[in-house]
Amino acid sequence: MKRSHFARFFFLSDESLLEILAKTKDPTRVQPHLGKCFEAIDKVIFETGNIITYMISPEGEKVKLYQPVKPDEGDFKGNVEKWMFDLELKMKRTMRELSFNSLKNYETETDYKKWIQNWPAMNIICNDQ
């Protein structure tokens, strides 16, 4: 049933999913399984109050979410499938906003090397095309 609420759970083995569901009170325990659910997210940064503010790629690139994810608040508390779905939405929105902003900056930036260093690699690849 949890897999039907968050389709990325289908990428997990039954053992991994059970491990996540058994530890729903501590959102940080999901960390080892993020790479199995999201191709480009290896880790996230939890700040005080278990608020997720950054996503980290397998290559170590750190990207700040435009809006934080708050797994311990409201309907998300104890419902890992709900806050991970929210993480997915905010990841997509962040990448969309970064793509738009980096493309806008590409049109005005005169130093190509500086532009590359200012934006996440995925945005550079997309916008450079």
pTM passes above 0.75 = yes
> What's the pLDDT tens digit per position in 65-113?
999 999 988 888 888 888 989 999 999 999 999 999 988 888 888 888 8
Which domains are delineated in the chain? Answer: 2-94 (3.20.180.20)
Q: How far is CA 39 from the centre of its chain?
A: 10
Q: Which residues pair with 69 in a beta bridge?
A: 52
Please classify residue 92 by burial: count the beta carbons closer than 10 Å to its beta carbon, then call 0-12 exposed, 13-18 middle and 19+ buried: exposed
pLDDT value for 87: 93
Report which secondary-structure segment, H or E, holds 14.
helix 14-22
Neighbouring residues of 51: CB distance < 8 A, sequence distance ≥ 6: 68, 69, 70
pLDDT at site 63: 93
Is the per-residue pLDDT at 54 higher than 90?
yes
Q: What average pLDDT does the structure give for the chain? A: 88
